[in-house]
Structure 1
Protein backbone atom coordinates (compact mmCIF):
# COMPACT_ATOMS: atom_id res chain seq x y z
CA UNK A 1 0.00 0.00 0.00
CA UNK A 2 1.26 3.46 -0.92
CA UNK A 3 2.08 5.90 1.93
CA UNK A 4 -0.77 8.27 0.95
CA UNK A 5 -3.30 5.41 1.05
CA UNK A 6 -1.98 4.22 4.42
CA UNK A 7 -2.25 7.72 5.91
CA UNK A 8 -5.77 8.21 4.48
CA UNK A 9 -6.88 4.91 6.05
CA UNK A 10 -5.36 5.80 9.45
CA UNK A 11 -6.92 9.27 9.38
CA UNK A 12 -10.32 7.73 8.63
CA UNK A 13 -9.86 5.44 11.67
CA UNK A 14 -8.85 8.40 13.87
CA UNK A 15 -11.97 10.35 12.82
CA UNK A 16 -14.07 7.23 13.45
CA UNK A 17 -12.71 7.16 17.02
CA UNK A 18 -13.50 10.87 17.57
CA UNK A 19 -16.48 11.76 15.38
CA UNK A 20 -16.37 15.49 16.26
CA UNK A 21 -13.05 15.84 14.36
CA UNK A 22 -12.75 16.09 10.59
CA UNK A 23 -10.11 16.55 7.92
CA UNK A 24 -9.53 19.92 6.30
CA UNK A 25 -6.41 19.17 4.27
CA UNK A 26 -3.66 16.62 4.04
CA UNK A 27 -0.49 16.66 1.94
CA UNK A 28 2.62 14.55 1.54
CA UNK A 29 5.70 16.13 -0.02
CA UNK A 30 8.04 14.09 -2.25
CA UNK A 31 10.41 13.69 0.73
CA UNK A 32 7.57 12.24 2.88
CA UNK A 33 6.73 15.25 5.03
CA UNK A 34 3.14 14.52 6.02
CA UNK A 35 1.05 17.58 6.96
CA UNK A 36 -2.47 17.11 8.29
CA UNK A 37 -4.88 19.96 9.10
CA UNK A 38 -7.92 19.03 11.18
CA UNK A 39 -10.92 20.85 12.62
CA UNK A 40 -13.63 19.86 15.05
CA UNK A 41 -17.29 20.59 15.61
CA UNK A 42 -16.35 21.73 19.13
CA UNK A 43 -12.89 23.03 18.24
CA UNK A 44 -9.59 21.13 18.37
CA UNK A 45 -7.46 20.62 21.47
CA UNK A 46 -3.75 19.83 21.62
CA UNK A 47 -4.76 16.36 22.82
CA UNK A 48 -6.90 15.90 19.68
CA UNK A 49 -3.85 16.70 17.52
CA UNK A 50 -1.72 14.30 19.58
CA UNK A 51 -4.31 11.51 19.27
CA UNK A 52 -4.52 11.88 15.48
CA UNK A 53 -0.73 12.13 15.23
CA UNK A 54 -0.22 8.98 17.31
CA UNK A 55 -2.82 7.06 15.30
CA UNK A 56 -0.88 7.78 12.11
CA UNK A 57 2.67 7.63 13.47
CA UNK A 58 2.29 4.43 15.51
CA UNK A 59 0.82 2.53 12.56
CA UNK A 60 3.43 3.46 9.94
CA UNK A 61 6.75 1.64 9.73
CA UNK A 62 9.77 3.97 9.59
CA UNK A 63 11.85 0.96 8.53
CA UNK A 64 9.80 0.76 5.32
CA UNK A 65 9.69 4.48 4.64
CA UNK A 66 11.06 7.41 6.62
CA UNK A 67 8.65 10.30 7.17
CA UNK A 68 7.95 13.38 9.24
CA UNK A 69 4.45 14.13 10.52
CA UNK A 70 2.76 17.38 11.51
CA UNK A 71 -0.86 17.50 12.71
CA UNK A 72 -2.32 20.98 13.24
CA UNK A 73 -5.74 22.53 13.70
CA UNK A 74 -7.27 24.90 11.18
CA UNK A 75 -6.17 28.40 12.17
CA UNK A 76 -8.67 31.07 13.13
CA UNK A 77 -7.48 33.21 10.23
CA UNK A 78 -7.77 30.38 7.68
CA UNK A 79 -10.66 30.54 5.21
CA UNK A 80 -13.56 28.14 5.80
CA UNK A 81 -13.43 25.21 3.38
CA UNK A 82 -15.95 22.59 4.48
CA UNK A 83 -19.68 22.71 5.21
CA UNK A 84 -18.99 21.41 8.73
CA UNK A 85 -16.86 24.50 9.38
CA UNK A 86 -19.76 26.75 8.36
CA UNK A 87 -22.13 24.78 10.61
CA UNK A 88 -19.91 25.18 13.67
CA UNK A 89 -19.71 28.95 13.05
CA UNK A 90 -23.45 29.71 12.85
CA UNK A 91 -24.07 32.90 14.83
CA UNK A 92 -20.60 34.30 14.19
CA UNK A 93 -19.70 37.20 11.93
CA UNK A 94 -18.18 36.23 8.57
CA UNK A 95 -16.52 38.08 5.76
CA UNK A 96 -17.47 36.39 2.48
CA UNK A 97 -16.10 37.21 -0.95
CA UNK A 98 -17.75 36.19 -4.21
CA UNK A 99 -16.45 36.92 -7.72
CA UNK A 100 -18.21 40.30 -7.75
CA UNK A 101 -19.07 41.28 -4.15
CA UNK A 102 -17.91 41.26 -0.55
CA UNK A 103 -20.29 40.67 2.36
CA UNK A 104 -19.90 41.03 6.11
CA UNK A 105 -22.65 39.63 8.24
CA UNK A 106 -23.79 37.10 10.79
CA UNK A 107 -24.00 33.53 9.57
CA UNK A 108 -27.60 32.61 10.36
CA UNK A 109 -28.16 29.42 8.37
CA UNK A 110 -26.23 26.65 6.62
CA UNK A 111 -27.75 24.23 4.12
CA UNK A 112 -26.45 21.57 1.74
CA UNK A 113 -26.25 24.17 -1.04
CA UNK A 114 -25.10 27.34 0.70
CA UNK A 115 -25.28 29.84 3.56
CA UNK A 116 -27.38 32.80 4.72
CA UNK A 117 -25.74 36.00 6.00
CA UNK A 118 -27.67 38.80 7.74
CA UNK A 119 -26.59 42.30 8.71
CA UNK A 120 -27.91 45.79 9.39
CA UNK A 121 -27.20 48.74 7.11
CA UNK A 122 -27.93 52.47 7.20
CA UNK A 123 -29.68 53.68 4.07
CA UNK A 124 -31.29 56.95 3.00
CA UNK A 125 -34.99 57.13 3.89
CA UNK A 126 -37.34 56.42 0.96
CA UNK A 127 -38.90 59.88 1.55
CA UNK A 128 -37.42 62.92 3.18
CA UNK A 129 -34.03 63.47 4.73
CA UNK A 130 -31.99 61.26 7.03
CA UNK A 131 -31.21 57.59 7.18
CA UNK A 132 -32.96 54.49 8.39
CA UNK A 133 -31.52 51.17 9.62
CA UNK A 134 -32.59 48.23 7.49
CA UNK A 135 -31.99 44.49 7.80
CA UNK A 136 -30.22 42.89 4.86
CA UNK A 137 -29.79 39.26 3.90
CA UNK A 138 -27.67 37.40 1.36
CA UNK A 139 -28.25 33.78 0.37
CA UNK A 140 -24.98 32.50 -1.10
CA UNK A 141 -24.35 29.19 -2.85
CA UNK A 142 -21.08 27.47 -1.89
CA UNK A 143 -20.10 27.51 -5.58
CA UNK A 144 -20.27 31.34 -5.57
CA UNK A 145 -18.07 31.74 -2.49
CA UNK A 146 -14.45 32.55 -3.34
CA UNK A 147 -13.37 32.96 0.28
CA UNK A 148 -15.11 33.00 3.67
CA UNK A 149 -13.41 33.90 6.95
CA UNK A 150 -14.65 34.25 10.50
CA UNK A 151 -14.18 37.83 11.67
CA UNK A 152 -12.50 38.03 15.05
CA UNK A 153 -13.92 40.81 17.20
CA UNK A 154 -12.50 41.98 20.51
Structure 2
Protein backbone atom coordinates (compact mmCIF):
# COMPACT_ATOMS: atom_id res chain seq x y z
CA UNK A 1 0.00 0.00 0.00
CA UNK A 2 1.22 3.49 -0.86
CA UNK A 3 1.61 5.30 2.48
CA UNK A 4 1.46 8.83 1.05
CA UNK A 5 -1.65 8.02 -1.00
CA UNK A 6 -3.45 6.57 2.05
CA UNK A 7 -2.47 9.57 4.19
CA UNK A 8 -3.85 11.95 1.53
CA UNK A 9 -7.18 10.06 1.63
CA UNK A 10 -7.28 10.23 5.45
CA UNK A 11 -6.54 13.98 5.48
CA UNK A 12 -9.22 14.57 2.82
CA UNK A 13 -11.72 12.69 5.01
CA UNK A 14 -10.84 14.74 8.08
CA UNK A 15 -11.01 18.16 6.40
CA UNK A 16 -14.03 17.39 4.19
CA UNK A 17 -16.26 19.51 6.44
CA UNK A 18 -13.77 22.41 6.49
CA UNK A 19 -13.73 23.83 2.95
CA UNK A 20 -11.26 26.57 3.92
CA UNK A 21 -8.54 23.96 4.68
CA UNK A 22 -6.53 22.14 2.02
CA UNK A 23 -3.71 19.62 1.82
CA UNK A 24 -0.44 21.00 0.49
CA UNK A 25 1.87 17.96 0.70
CA UNK A 26 2.49 14.57 2.28
CA UNK A 27 6.02 13.15 2.50
CA UNK A 28 7.27 9.95 4.08
CA UNK A 29 10.98 10.40 4.73
CA UNK A 30 13.39 7.49 4.89
CA UNK A 31 14.20 8.36 8.54
CA UNK A 32 10.62 7.44 9.51
CA UNK A 33 9.33 10.99 9.64
CA UNK A 34 5.89 11.41 8.08
CA UNK A 35 5.21 15.08 7.33
CA UNK A 36 1.75 16.41 6.44
CA UNK A 37 1.48 20.05 5.36
CA UNK A 38 -2.00 21.56 5.53
CA UNK A 39 -2.96 25.16 4.90
CA UNK A 40 -6.10 27.25 5.06
CA UNK A 41 -7.47 30.24 3.23
CA UNK A 42 -7.17 32.06 6.58
CA UNK A 43 -4.25 29.99 7.85
CA UNK A 44 -4.63 26.88 10.02
CA UNK A 45 -4.78 26.61 13.78
CA UNK A 46 -3.12 24.17 16.15
CA UNK A 47 -6.49 22.52 16.93
CA UNK A 48 -7.00 21.53 13.30
CA UNK A 49 -3.42 20.19 13.08
CA UNK A 50 -4.00 18.11 16.23
CA UNK A 51 -7.33 16.76 14.93
CA UNK A 52 -5.75 15.77 11.60
CA UNK A 53 -2.80 14.17 13.39
CA UNK A 54 -5.07 12.09 15.65
CA UNK A 55 -7.30 11.00 12.76
CA UNK A 56 -4.38 10.01 10.52
CA UNK A 57 -2.40 8.39 13.35
CA UNK A 58 -5.38 6.36 14.55
CA UNK A 59 -6.15 4.97 11.10
CA UNK A 60 -2.52 4.27 10.22
CA UNK A 61 -2.19 2.24 13.45
CA UNK A 62 -5.55 0.52 12.97
CA UNK A 63 -4.74 -0.47 9.37
CA UNK A 64 -1.07 -1.18 10.18
CA UNK A 65 -0.06 0.87 7.13
CA UNK A 66 3.48 1.57 8.37
CA UNK A 67 5.40 -1.47 9.61
CA UNK A 68 8.20 0.41 11.35
CA UNK A 69 8.28 3.13 14.01
CA UNK A 70 7.50 6.53 12.57
CA UNK A 71 7.12 10.12 13.68
CA UNK A 72 4.01 11.99 12.50
CA UNK A 73 4.22 15.75 12.03
CA UNK A 74 1.26 17.89 10.93
CA UNK A 75 1.82 21.60 10.33
CA UNK A 76 1.26 24.48 7.98
CA UNK A 77 3.96 25.19 5.40
CA UNK A 78 6.67 27.42 6.88
CA UNK A 79 7.10 31.02 5.82
CA UNK A 80 10.01 29.93 3.65
CA UNK A 81 8.02 27.21 1.85
CA UNK A 82 7.25 27.95 -1.81
CA UNK A 83 3.62 28.62 -2.70
CA UNK A 84 2.17 25.50 -4.30
CA UNK A 85 -1.48 26.28 -5.02
CA UNK A 86 -3.27 29.26 -6.50
CA UNK A 87 -5.34 29.56 -3.33
CA UNK A 88 -2.12 30.15 -1.36
CA UNK A 89 -1.48 33.19 -3.54
CA UNK A 90 -4.88 34.63 -2.56
CA UNK A 91 -4.02 34.93 1.12
CA UNK A 92 -0.71 36.58 0.20
CA UNK A 93 -2.16 39.50 -1.78
CA UNK A 94 -0.38 42.64 -0.64
CA UNK A 95 2.81 40.78 0.25
CA UNK A 96 6.10 40.93 -1.62
CA UNK A 97 7.04 37.84 -3.60
CA UNK A 98 10.27 36.45 -5.02
CA UNK A 99 9.49 34.62 -8.24
CA UNK A 100 11.72 32.26 -10.22
CA UNK A 101 10.71 32.10 -13.85
CA UNK A 102 10.95 29.08 -16.17
CA UNK A 103 13.52 30.98 -18.28
CA UNK A 104 15.81 31.27 -15.23
CA UNK A 105 15.17 34.94 -14.50
CA UNK A 106 14.07 36.19 -11.09
CA UNK A 107 11.42 38.79 -10.37
CA UNK A 108 10.24 40.56 -7.26
CA UNK A 109 7.16 42.55 -6.55
CA UNK A 110 4.05 43.08 -4.49
CA UNK A 111 1.23 40.69 -5.33
CA UNK A 112 -1.77 42.81 -6.27
CA UNK A 113 -4.23 40.32 -7.81
CA UNK A 114 -4.75 36.86 -9.25
CA UNK A 115 -6.63 35.43 -12.19
CA UNK A 116 -7.27 31.80 -13.04
CA UNK A 117 -3.95 31.38 -14.83
CA UNK A 118 -1.82 34.40 -13.90
CA UNK A 119 -0.72 36.63 -11.06
CA UNK A 120 -0.36 40.40 -11.17
CA UNK A 121 2.54 42.02 -9.34
CA UNK A 122 3.76 45.57 -8.92
CA UNK A 123 7.46 45.52 -9.63
CA UNK A 124 10.11 48.21 -9.83
CA UNK A 125 11.42 48.46 -13.38
CA UNK A 126 14.49 50.57 -14.07
CA UNK A 127 15.39 51.55 -17.57
CA UNK A 128 18.86 52.87 -18.28
CA UNK A 129 19.14 56.56 -17.53
CA UNK A 130 15.67 56.76 -15.99
CA UNK A 131 14.30 56.57 -12.46
CA UNK A 132 12.86 53.23 -11.40
CA UNK A 133 9.08 53.12 -11.69
CA UNK A 134 6.39 50.80 -10.40
CA UNK A 135 4.88 48.74 -13.19
CA UNK A 136 2.02 46.26 -13.02
CA UNK A 137 3.13 42.99 -14.59
CA UNK A 138 0.96 40.02 -15.45
CA UNK A 139 2.87 36.75 -15.00
CA UNK A 140 1.34 33.52 -16.33
CA UNK A 141 1.37 30.78 -13.66
CA UNK A 142 2.77 28.26 -16.16
CA UNK A 143 5.93 30.37 -16.53
CA UNK A 144 6.66 30.32 -12.79
CA UNK A 145 8.89 27.59 -11.34
CA UNK A 146 8.87 28.83 -7.72
CA UNK A 147 7.30 31.60 -5.67
CA UNK A 148 8.22 32.50 -2.12
CA UNK A 149 6.87 35.22 0.13
CA UNK A 150 9.55 37.76 1.07
CA UNK A 151 9.58 38.32 4.81
CA UNK A 152 10.09 41.90 5.89
CA UNK A 153 11.39 42.70 9.36
CA UNK A 154 11.00 46.49 9.11
- TM-score interval for Structure 1 and Structure 2 normalised by the shorter chain: 0.7 to 0.9
Query: Matches of 2:45 and 2:148 in 1, distance apart?
Result: 21
The structure whose residues are more often strand, as a share, is 1
Could you list the runs of 5+ residues in structure 2 that have no partner in the other structure?
A: none
| SS state at 1:51 partner | helix
- Partner secondary structure for residue 74 of structure 2: strand
Q: What pairs up with 1:15-34 in 2 under 5 angstroms?
A: 15-29=15-29, 33-34=33-34
Rounded to whole Å, the distance in 2 between the matches of 1:2 and 1:122 is 51
Deviation of the 1:123 alpha carbon: 5.1
Q: Give, in whole Å, the separation in 1 of the partners of 2:38 and 2:120.
A: 25
Distance 1:17 1:147, change over 3 A: same
Output the TM-score relative to the length of structure 2.
Answer: 0.81
Change (3 A) 1:55 1:17: farther
CA drift of 1:118 comes to 0.8
Matched residues in 2 for 1:30 and 1:120: separation? Answer: 43
State the shift of 1:8 in Å.
2.1
Q: Distance in 2 between matches of 1:2 and 1:104?
A: 39
Number of residue equivalences: 149
CA distance in 2, matches of 1:2, 1:146: 27
Q: Which residue in 2 is equivalent to 1:94?
A: 97
